[in-house]
Amino acid sequence: MPHPKEFFPATRMRRMRFQAFSRRLMRENSLSSDDLICPLFAIEGHNQRQSVASMPGVDRLSLDLLVKEAETLLKLGIPAVALFPVIDPAQKTLTAEEAFNPAGLAQRCVKALKAELPELGVITDVALDPFTSHGQDGLLNEHGYVVNDETVDVLCKQALSHAEAGADIVAPSDMMDGRIGAIRNTLESHGFTNTRILAYSAKYASSFYGPFRDAVGSAGNLAGGNKYSYQMDPANSDEALREIALDLQEGADMIMVKPGMPYLDIIRRAKDHFGVPTFAYQVSGEYAMLKAASANGWLDERQAVLESLLAFKRAGCDAILTYYAKAAAQWLSQA
Ligand code: PBG
């Protein structure tokens, strides 16, 4: 008979980790394709596919290919896509008229997607940066400052044009003050009572957006070089709660924290505080980091990506916008 030890751990945490079945039983969070939203970059033309140098594996697609890609995503169980149009620089203006053109690229993509794949949720980005010659999300005054209220007027026109095209969710990513309330009023007064608003409430002035700005071609010409006068300071956390509270009061249905991985603390605070549908955006720079390390053989891509997405769920996210949506849904379906 083995000699009884004088001391042993009263609780052995490892007991439950010993076999897969008990690890599964005590698992607190899970990731499924239901949690994923795939961003898609749209370009003009037919049968056009352009790669984005800083985002290997992400292509800009013409409408026909974009619809095909969306169909694949839908079949993989992904509930929604988020559209980002990339327009010809010649169409960009100081005041972003193309943003609310009913026959614009984003509006045509929405129509085609809703006609071909009605059950797929379509989310549009409400912000002016893909359409301004200066690359800022709003209109500039003579000092180069992004003016708030005039910008909000244009955002309302843009959001309305998206709703008229059939968008299920409009997602203002611009960080102007009061835009959620103004957009909600515009939608309600035009009969769009069921168009949801996903507010990019806590959007930080982040260096992790670099590859996205390459993808939409707004990087080279960004007047002033940064978006500090409207996007949030990465040092702040309480301020994010104030932004979210305002957007909810103004009529947001869902809130978003962006970027994702460096801001998991904000997601957790937001979820605990408000308990509303909380989304996060694993942005282009996060994708680029995971891709680059995986391409070098420094990370196991599948494991690292699924772990990163599960971390969003653990932090309190209901859904995640990620350029890895398709790959993750494929990996999950093989598991
Ligand atoms: C701009 C917008 C940005 C992203 C989505 N919408 C970039 C920015 O604020 O400059 C970034 C997304 C990403 O990096 O993946 N309205």
- pLDDT tens across 243-281, in order? 999 999 999 999 999 999 999 999 999 999 999 999 999
As a whole number of angstroms, the distance between CA 275 and CA 34 comes to: 19
Averaged pLDDT for residues 155-172: 98
Domains, the chain, ordered by start: 30-334 (3.20.20.70)
Three-state secondary structure of 217-275? CCCCCCCCCCCCCCCECCCCCHHHHHHHHHHHHCCCCEEEEECCHHHHHHHHHHHHHHC
Average pLDDT over residues 139-168: 97
Rounded to whole angstroms, the Cα distance separating 258 from 3 reads 57
Task: Give the per-residue pLDDT at 200.
Answer: 98
Q: What are 52-103's pLDDT values in tens digits?
A: 999 999 999 999 999 999 999 999 999 999 999 999 999 999 999 999 999 9
Say what the pLDDT of residue 213 is. Answer: 86
Least-confidence region, from 31-35, 192-196, 213-217: 213-217
**Mean model confidence pLDDT for the chain:** 96
209 C-beta closer than 6 A to ligand 1:
yes
SS3 101: coil
Q: What's the DSSP call for residue 302? A: H
Atom of ligand 1 nearest to the CA of 210: 14
Catalogue the E-assigned strands of 176-221: 196-203
CA distance 326 to 80: 11
CA of 42 from ligand 1 middle (Å) equals 15
Q: Pick the atom of ligand 1 nearest to 174's CA.
A: 16
Strand, helix or coil for residue 94: coil
- The span from the CA of 170 to the CA of 163, in Å, is 8
Q: What is the pTM of this model?
A: 0.96
197 secondary structure, DSSP code: E
Dist. CA 26 → ligand 1 center (Å): 37
**pLDDT exceeds cutoff 60 at 197:** yes
Burial of 294 (0-12, 13-18, 19+ CB in 10 A): middle
pLDDT of 217 reads: 78
pLDDT at 222: 87
Residue 1 has pLDDT above 60, yes or no: no
Pick the residue with more confidence: 89 or 2?
Answer: 89
What does the pLDDT read at residue 220? Answer: 67
Asked if residue 284 has its Cβ within 6 Å of ligand 1, the reply is yes
- Between the CA of 127 and the centroid of ligand 1 the distance, in Å, is 9
Of residues 92, 227, 258, 291, which has the active-site annotation? 258
Instruction: Tell me if residue 111 is catalytic.
Output: no
The complex scores an ipTM of 0.95
Q: Ligand 1 pocket, 212 CB below 6 A?
A: yes
Q: How far apart are CA 240 and CA 194, in angstroms?
A: 26
pLDDT in tens, 3-19: 666 788 989 999 999 99
The CB of 173 under 6 Å from ligand 1? The reply is: yes
Query: Which residues lie below 8 Å from residue 6, measured CB to CB, with a gap of 6+?
Result: none
Concerning whether 75 is annotated as a catalytic residue, the answer is no
> What average pLDDT does the segment 127-156 reach?
96
Burial of 226 (0-12, 13-18, 19+ CB in 10 A): exposed
Give residue-wise pLDDT tens across range 102-126. 999 999 999 999 999 999 999 999 9
Say if residue 71 carries a ligand binding annotation. no
Residue with tokens 């670099």: 210
**What is the arithmetic mean of pLDDT over 125-144?**
96
Give yes or no for residue 218 having a pLDDT over 80. Answer: no
DSSP 116-171: H-TTSEEEEEE-STTTBTT--SSEE-TTS-EEHHHHHHHHHHHHHHHHHHT-SEEE
Distance 1 CA to ligand 1 centre (A): 67
